[in-house]
Chains A and B, each alone.
Chain A
Amino acid sequence: MLTRRDFLAASAAAAAVAQLKAAPTERESFAEKALGIAKKAGVTYADIRISRYDNQRIFTRERQVQNISSDSSYGYGVRVLKKGAWGFGASNDFSEKSLAEAVARAVEIAEANSAIQTRPVQLAPEKAYKATWKSAYEIDPFDVALDKKIELLLKINEATLKTQGVNFVRSNLSFMREDKFFASTEGSVIQQDIVRSSGGFQATAVDRAKGDSQSRSSLALPVQRGWEAIEQYPYLEEAAQAGEEAVAKLKAPSVEPGEYDLLLHPTHLWLTIHESCGHPTELDRALGYEANYAGTSFLTPDKLGKFRYGSKWVNMVADRMQPYGLATVAYDDDGVPAQRWHLVRDGIFVDYQTTREQAGLVAGVRPHACAHADSWSSVVFQRMPNVSLDPGDSKLTNEELMADIKKGILILGNGSFSIDQQRYNFQFGGQTFWEIKDGKKTRMLRDVAYQARTPEFWNACDGVASKAEYELPGALNDGKGEPPQSNAVSHGCSPARFRGINVINTGRTA
């Protein structure tokens, strides 16, 4: 029964491990030195993040463990503002010499870039905070015995392989801890600890005679919780069902392309929200800061407060305080307190995701605590908060939504997903597809994907189920920025209905 803490304690190299467990007072003292050096160099603002990221991952396939890995990354990044330009230096060498070099590099970069800066960077005023915060969890996943985790995964695999015709299964568990210390020249000193857990699997059935294969992945998605989230999810029941569904997909009829009403389950709809509302409401995209990579946005500032993004059912709420949300924090990486606000209210586009730096760029836009860096060695920039479809006071049920569909498809889980660089045209697949005929779920379909244009899709929404059916799925790997960074984010929703959506057939005859 070895746990990660056991082997850290047992490790002979005490010096290295001690460094990984640097006490808060040591961090404050290190931060003071860094900020002092920066101030002496004449910066107008500086901050430092001293962060440790721990991950444990277990991968299995069929009846074997493929790998168990434990990784830990610890270092610091110093950000300075001088002559209106940003500079950043990061290192995992905690010596005084290296710290001085990192700050000097940051200052050198700011000075060099200030020569071509057209508009000096300005930060919206913010108070100084001294705070500590921990995300909500009951059981620290790093304290749970490794053999318990392996046992669960191998049981999941066995449960899928019980179904005749399932040839392959992969499963994994991942646990993440983010330990972030932030201090700025404005006087903020903030310590935050975040734990996230994730478990999933994929069963595959192969028809060698036909040269066909179909997979069914778990509908479980990562959360900002501890081991209790893994324990509470019905993995074994779902694994047995997934095995049967992977085999059934091989024989399921291929969808007839055309217009269908769609009933989208939260395990599917969260990703559609992410791509078609989460990203276009990012102010950096709308202003062209992401033009070279992630893209821009069709929700340009002239549409703010006027544009009908969706039907009256569509209320999109950004929330960095939502319990268990993957992007939930107490303070962002600018040191701004977490907030909740509407991006879309009653179908109208009303606000953006923003940071301190962006507040002055568009009239009336306030900083909304969306600054984030995925590592001590990454620069801070605007990242997505939890963005969710608020069911409000809807009294509808999933069954009632289905009952009013004559020709439709129920989609669960995420499959292929793709959207253009301004977030208009998208195509989504799923894990399982069920034909709805005259208000009733009938048979499984395959080769389903739907294509739509974002505003038309959300204006076709004519029903959202009540809070009783609300779920909070999400992802750990939302990519954006150059050099690219990853962000963990959740998107809550209840099942929702969309009328007359174009469904294509992705099968061999497509």
Chain B
Amino acid sequence: MTRDQAESLAKKVLQAAKEPEVSLHLNLRRHGFLRFARNAPTTSGFTQVGEANVTAWKGKRKASASASVNLADMAEAESTLKSLVSQAEELAAVSPEDREYMPLLGPQEYVEVNGYDAETAEMPAARRTKAVSDAIETAKRQKVIAAGLFENVAQTSVLANSAGLFAHYPSSVATFSVTARSVDEQGSGYTAISSHKFASLDVKEMTAIASRKAIESRAGREIKPGAYTTILEPQAAADLISRLDFDARLSDEGRSVFTASGGKTRLGDRIFDPRVNLYVDPQHATIPSRPVGPEGYPVVKADLVREGVLKNLTYSRFWADKSKKQPGPYQTNLIIDGESTPLSKLIASTERGVLVTRLWYIRPVDPQQALFTGLTRDGTFWIEDGEIKYPIKNFRFNESPYRILGEVEALGTSQPAVSGERYGDFRMLLPAIKVKSFRFTSISDAV
């Protein structure tokens, strides 16, 4: 769906609407995937899905209608979309007034983002088979058993409204993740990588790393649960830190870790170690992301935390208006600056501690302290006298990303990461993080 096609379609549909305020979101997704396990392919497919969401306001009354839409046929799409507009308008007519009504945003300027790569978007099935075949062959050479997923997505996202806003964002993403397990089922390793450019994914190297971790993590010893100096590899750091919720409203309402006692927020407070810079940048060359936020508000480069100080919380348009703030910053990616210290030096500087390569099944326990529980997985190691001494059994943790970012001992070099539990195009760039203490509460026998 080209920009011109989308613009023409949106114009026709919005002009035909009865109500003066209508917003239209279209998404066309072409998705190829090949899953593998036990060193062989399992399920595999190609899907083309067009979706539309229409929100209509009748005065301050609001409602939404969504449906699958055939965006390959513009005449059929126009008909379906007009039907959806009617549905949303009729639903809005019987809805109560929206007490948080905000007028539609007019035309916006968006930063230019090149997140589309034709080779990635238009990949044939044989190319996915080749990538997975390379991964399986690498695993077989290392005498491990591999399971994983290779997928490529081409997506076009369009937002238009009757106040003249129009945004068109084509993107592509290729993602590869692999778990290697030792034949005796005593060791496991994992790696994942995602990029808008397939060519930057080194499937063989990623599989080799996962295989090494599987072999080196075999037969982990039992270490007593407790608080230890801990190094989170970028994958593990991404798994946990992506859980921090910077929502301003929750903080103002007194139910967030960013709420200060007495009903204020921690904005302006030094909350983390001064080396921690945490920000959003849709134009980042390695992890470009959507420059269009909720309701079409632009996403721009913006700090959440700079030198450990909380600079921004994320305001919805309504809450920003009420609080006399600017909306955003919206997170379509997340970056934490690293330093030039390689992982090996973080390990070398550790007298006694734990190296965590991945975290899993992370769930909130107490939002007020951003406390989460979860487990280590796919390779956990004991460090002593600056060296990895031996693999250890997995731990359950009860820990807060908020607390550990205040206890940073050192940062490694930044690298791209995707959370192992979350899907979609949310990508991060962050370093390995060494923290003074990380609270492990029990042992898991799982390998």
Checking B41, B42, B369, B396 against A425 with a beta-carbon cut-off of 8 angstroms, the contacting residue is B396
Residues of B within 8 A of A16 (CB): 67, 76, 79-80, 82-83
- A16 closest partner in B (C-beta): B80
Count chain B residues whose beta carbon lies closer than 8 angstroms to a beta carbon of A: 104
Judge whether B201 is part of the interface by a CB distance below 8 angstroms. no
Chain B positions within 8 Å of A108 at CB level: 124-125
In the complex where A77-B47, A422-B445 touch, is A213 in contact with B96 (Cβ < 8 A)?
A: no
Q: Per-residue CB proximity of A374-385 to B under 8 Å, as 1/0?
A: 000101010000
Contacts of A293 in B (CB 8 A): 149, 420
Q: How far is A447 from B366 in the complex, measured between Cα atoms in Å? A: 9
A2 and B93 in contact (CB under 8 A), knowing A113-B34, A418-B374, A424-B446? yes
- Quick check: which of B154-162, B166-174, B175-183, B295-303 contacts chain A, the rest being far away? B175-183
Given the known inter-chain contacts A63-B99, A206-B254, A208-B263, please indicate yes or no for A13 contacting B362, CB distance below 8 A.
no
Q: What's the Cα separation between A510 and B398 when bound, in Å?
A: 9
Q: Is the CB of A451 within 8 A of B396?
A: yes
User: What per-residue 1/0 map shows which CB atoms of B182-193 lie under 8 Å from chain A?
Assistant: 000100101000
Within 8 A of B (CB), among A64-80: 64-75, 77
Known A146-B94, A379-B43; contact A71-B66, beta-carbon cutoff 8 A = yes
Q: Which of B126-134, B323-331, B333-341 contacts A (4 or more CB under 8 A)?
A: B126-134
List, in ascending order, chain A residues with CB within 8 A of B383's CB: none
Let me know if B87 and A8 touch, CB within 8 A: yes
**Contact status of A418 and B40, CB under 8 A, knowing A94-B70, A98-B72, A211-B260:** no
Instruction: Kindly provide the distance from the CB of A13 to the nearest chain B CB, expressed in whole angstroms.
Output: 3
Cβ distance B156 to chain A, nearest Cβ, rounded Å? 15
- Cβ contacts under 8 Å, A87 to chain B: 44-45, 125
Chain B residues contacting A210 (CB-CB under 8 Å) are: 261
A43 to chain B, nearest CB (A): 14
Q: Closest approach, in angstroms, between the C-beta of B78 and any C-beta of chain A?
A: 9
B254–A115 touching, CB < 8 Å: no
| Distance A72 CA – B93 CA, assembled complex (angstroms) | 20
The one of B33, B188, B360, B396 that contacts A483, using a Cβ cutoff of 8 Å: B33
Q: Which of B228-236, B307-315, B436-444 contacts A (4 or more CB under 8 A)?
A: B436-444
Check: A370 CB closer than 8 A to any chain B CB.
Answer: no
With contacts A69-B64, A146-B91 taken as known, whether A418 is within 8 angstroms of B179 at the C-beta atoms is no
CA–CA, A420 and B444, complex, Å: 7
Instruction: Note all chain A residues with C-beta closer than 8 A to B126.
Output: 112
The reply to whether the CB of A204 lies closer than 8 angstroms to some CB of chain B is yes
Roughly how many angstroms separate A381 CA and B45 CA in the complex, as a whole number? 13
Counting CB contacts under 8 A, is A416 at the interface? yes
Cα distance A7–B42 in the bound complex, in angstroms: 43
Q: How far is the CA of A13 from the CA of B446 in the complex (A)?
A: 55
Shortest distance from the beta carbon of B222 to any chain A beta carbon, whole Å: 13
Q: Does B349 sit within 8 A of A, measured CB to CB?
A: no
Q: What are the residues of chain A within 8 A of B62 when measuring CB–CB?
A: 67-68
Q: Is the CB of A449 within 8 A of B365?
A: yes
B108 within 8 A of A: no
Interface positions, chain B 88-127, Cβ under 8 Å from A, are: 90-96, 98-100, 124-126
Contact between A292 and B49 (Cβ–Cβ < 8 Å)? no
Chain A residues lying within 8 Å of B446, measured Cβ to Cβ, are 295, 298, 420-425
Say whether A90 contacts B49, CB under 8 Å: yes
Task: For residue A283, give the distance in angstroms from its CB to the closest CB of chain B.
Answer: 12
Q: Are B66 and A72 in contact (CB under 8 A)?
A: yes
CB pair B369 A2 closer than 8 Å: no
Cβ A507 vs Cβ B360 within 8 A: no
Query: Which chain A residues border B37 with CB–CB below 8 Å?
Result: 288-292
- Contacting residues of chain A (86-123) with chain B, CB-CB under 8 angstroms: 86-95, 98, 102, 105-106, 108-110, 112-113, 115-119
Contact A113 B443 (CB under 8 A): no
The reply to whether B73 and A85 contact each other, CB–CB distance below 8 Å, is no
CB-CB contacts below 8 Å: A394-448 with B:
415-425, 427, 429, 447
Query: Which residues does chain A contribute within 8 Å of B50, judged by CB atoms?
Result: 92-93
The reply to whether B45 and A2 contact each other, CB–CB distance below 8 Å, is no
A482 at the interface (CB under 8 A from B): yes
Q: Does A143 contact B (CB under 8 A)?
A: no
Q: What number of A residues sit within 8 Å (CB to CB) of B?
A: 103
Instruction: Please judge, given known A-B contacts A147-B94, A291-B181, whether A86 and B363 are in contact too, CB under 8 Å.
Output: no
Instruction: For chain A, residues 183 to 228, give those with C-beta under 8 angstroms from any C-beta of chain B.
Output: 204, 206, 208-213
Q: Is the CB of B45 within 8 A of A74?
A: no
Chain B residues whose C-beta falls within 8 Å of the C-beta of A506 in the assembled complex: 365-366, 371, 373, 398
The smallest beta-carbon distance between B299 and chain A, in angstroms, is 22
In Å, the complex CA distance between A379 and B445 comes to: 32
Known: A208-B263, A289-B42, A422-B446. A67 touches B398 (CB 8 A): no
Minimum distance in angstroms from A362 CB to a CB of chain B: 13
> Is the pair B94, A73 in contact by a Cβ cutoff of 8 Å?
no
| Cβ contacts under 8 Å, A482 to chain B | 33, 35, 149, 177
Residue A23, interface by CB 8 Å? no
Q: Which of A90, A93, A206 contacts B70 (CB 8 A)?
A: A93
* Nearest A-chain residue to B37, judged by Cβ: A289
A453 interfacial by beta-carbon distance below 8 Å: yes
Instruction: Tell me if B216 counts as interface (CB < 8 A to partner A).
Output: no
State in angstroms the CA–CA spacing of A147 and B63 once bound together. 13
CB <8 Å contact, A112 and B125: yes
Of B31, B73, B91, the most chain A CB neighbours within 10 A belong to B91
Complex CA distance for A290 and B128, rounded to whole angstroms: 19
Contact of A420 among B181, B185, B371, B394 (CB under 8 A): B394
User: Complex Cα distance A424/B375, Å?
Assistant: 11
Q: Which residues of B contact A363 (CB under 8 A)?
A: none
Which residue from B41, B87, B179, B444 sits with its C-beta under 8 Å from A113?
B41
* CB-defined contacts of B377 to chain A, threshold 8 Å: 295, 420-421
Residue from B39, B65, B149, B260 within 8 A of A292 (CB atoms): B149
- Report if A504 contacts B (CB, 8 A): yes
Q: Is B86's CB within 8 Å of the partner chain A? A: yes
A151, closest chain B residue (CB): B96
**Chain B hits for A98, CB < 8 A:** 70, 72
Contact A451 B442, beta carbon cutoff 8 Å: yes
Which residues of A sit under 8 angstroms from B98, Cβ to Cβ? 64-66
Q: Are A504 and B125 in contact (CB under 8 A)?
A: no
Q: How far is the CA of A290 from the CA of B126 in the complex (A)?
A: 23
Question: Is B406's CB within 8 Å of the partner chain A?
Answer: no
Whether A115 contacts B45 by the Cβ 8 Å rule is no
Structural contact, B363 and A416, CB atoms closer than 8 A: yes
Fill in one digit per residue for A208-251: 1 if any B CB lies within 8 Å of its CB, else 0: 11111100000000000000000000000000000000000000
Report the separation of the CA atoms of residues A116 and B150 in the bound assembly, to the nearest whole angstrom.
15
Interface check A307, CB cutoff 8 A: no
Partner of B40, one of A8, A94, A117, A292: A117
Whole-angstrom distance between the alpha carbons of A396 and B213 in the complex?
50
Q: CB-nearest residue of chain B relative to A17?
A: B83
Cβ of A46 within 8 Å of any chain B Cβ, yes or no, is: no
Contact B39 A118 (CB under 8 A): yes
B361 partner residues in chain A, CB cutoff 8 A: 418-421
Instruction: State the Cβ distance, A55 to closest chain B Cβ, in Å.
Output: 8
Q: How far is A349 from B146 in the complex, measured between Cα atoms in Å?
A: 27
Is B45 in contact with A90, judged by CB distance below 8 angstroms?
A: yes
Given contacts A418-B373, A422-B446, A425-B446, contact A10 B90 (CB under 8 A): yes
Does B253 touch A at the CB level, under 8 Å? yes
Given contacts A69-B64, A146-B94, A295-B446, 9 further A-B contacts (CB under 8 A): A90-B46, A91-B49, A116-B40, A292-B149, A377-B47, A381-B42, A483-B31, A483-B423, A510-B398
11 example contacts (A-B, Cβ-Cβ < 8 A) are as follows A7-B90, A16-B79, A73-B68, A98-B70, A113-B41, A211-B260, A288-B37, A291-B37, A293-B149, A424-B445, A483-B151
Query: What 4 A-B pairs have minimum CB-CB distances, sorted nearest first?
Result: A88-B45, A13-B83, A71-B66, A422-B446
